[in-house]
């Protein structure tokens, strides 16, 4: 178990997405025990142990869903559906392993921190960096060669490389006080950030957006730029303005999560990737991934896929029976 937790710590430190599965309840016979853990990587690799061949594909599938949605889930595998399986928040699957038993496994997504990308060197940027850290953001700062070393940042990015680092989980605030708003926004406006805010007066913001429109920036992208940035709370000082902006970013971020928007680059990739072809085991009803199925049988010119050798053997002996049952 310690090896799994050490591995999870290393993955979090590198900012890689994964899901952590933990066995929380067992009814014997079952190969897993309470407290056993496994890590499921974004490519579907499972490291650790939370059950045998019946549990493995289900947990990987649910881990993918947890990463896409950014929400944990409780999985129940049992031979027969009972009152416990019908509890709210429990996702039930039939236990198809012939050893029987019941497993309940908690699957939790571990997603990288959202990024707060700050462009500028003003005292406001320093205040934004402090508040962003308090809210759990990884703070990035555009390095223009004159950026203040007082700004505590996880990463400094050359201004020319900002767009390459922007993802749906990046929240950008441009606060150059008019020095290079246009240059920064020209790169960032269409890069797909979850939020882009410009710290400027209404008049200044209108001038900047008009300039960018003349440069051929898509008007739809420019409409997504919040200018002036921040909620209207009557803020005056840099700290108050920073508070209003961070509050607005939190509001936007939570709204995106609630409506199913991407919560990370990697989760977005998972959501956009094609769904693997699946088939139903005609014997036990379990879902089987076609590409990785180890047990198959061709009957009357049609290929059938099975979760295990026992199901395939049962089908081989009496295919007409199972096709009739599934009809």
Give DSSP secondary structure letters for 267-324: HHHHHHSPPPPEEE-TTT--EEEGGG-SEEEEETTEEEEESSHHHHHHHHH-HHHHHH
pLDDT score of 18 more than 50: yes
Summarize pLDDT for 222-250 with one digit per residue, the tens.
999 999 999 999 999 999 999 999 999 99
Give DSSP secondary structure letters for 22-37: EEEEEESS-S--TT-E
pLDDT score of 81 more than 80: no
pLDDT score of 54 more than 80: no
Cα–Cα–Cα angle for 39, 259, 220, nearest 5°?
115
Domain ranges of the chain: 2-110, 115-263, 278-326
What's the chain's average pLDDT?
A: 84
Centroid of chain to Cα 3 = 24
Give DSSP secondary structure letters for 61-96: HHHHHHHHHT--EEEEEESS--TTTTSTTEEEEE--
CATH number for 115-263 (one of 3.40.50.170, 3.40.30.10, 3.30.420.40, 3.40.50.720): it is 3.40.50.720
Band of pLDDT at residue 106, cut at 50, 70 and 90? very high
pLDDT of residue 262: 45
């Amino acid at each position: 178990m310690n090896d799994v937790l050490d591995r999870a710590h290393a993955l979090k430190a590198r900012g890689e997405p994964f899901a952590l599965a933990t066995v929380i309840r067992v009814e014997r016979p079952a190969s897993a025990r309470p407290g056993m853990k496994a890590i499921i990587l974004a490519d579907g690799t499972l490291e650790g142990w939370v059950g045998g061949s019946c549990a493995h594909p289900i947990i990987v599938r649910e881990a993918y869903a947890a990463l896409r949605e950014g929400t944990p889930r409780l999985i129940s595998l049992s031979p027969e559906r009972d009152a416990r399986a019908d509890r709210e928040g429990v996702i039930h699957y039939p236990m198809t392993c012939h050893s029987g038993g019941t497993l309940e496994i908690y699957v939790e997504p571990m997603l990288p921190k959202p990024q707060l990308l700050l462009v500028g060197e003003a005292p406001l940027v320093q205040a934004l960096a402090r508040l962003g850290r308090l809210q759990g953001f990884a703070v990035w700062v555009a390095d223009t060669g004159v950026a203040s070393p007082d700004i505590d940042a996880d990463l400094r990015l050359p201004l020319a490389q900002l767009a390459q680092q922007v993802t749906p989980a990046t929240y950008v605030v441009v606060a150059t006080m008019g020095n290079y708003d246009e240059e920064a926004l020209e790169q960032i406006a269409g890069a797909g950030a979850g939020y882009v805010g410009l710290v400027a007066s209404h008049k200044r913001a209108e001038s900047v957006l008009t300039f960018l429109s003349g440069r051929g920036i898509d008007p739809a992208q420019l409409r997504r730029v919040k200018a002036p940035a921040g909620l209207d709370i009557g803020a005056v000082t840099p700290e108050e303005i920073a508070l209003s902006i961070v509050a607005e970013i939190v509001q936007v971020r939570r709204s995106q999560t609630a409506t199913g928007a991407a919560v990370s680059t990697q989760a977005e990739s998972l959501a956009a990737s094609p769904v693997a072809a699946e088939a139903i085991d005609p014997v036990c009803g379990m879902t089987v991934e076609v590409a990785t199925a180890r047990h198959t049988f061709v009957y009357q010119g049609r290929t059938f896929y099975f979760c295990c050798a026992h199901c395939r053997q049962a089908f081989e002996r009496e295919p007409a029976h199972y096709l009739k049952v599934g009809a």
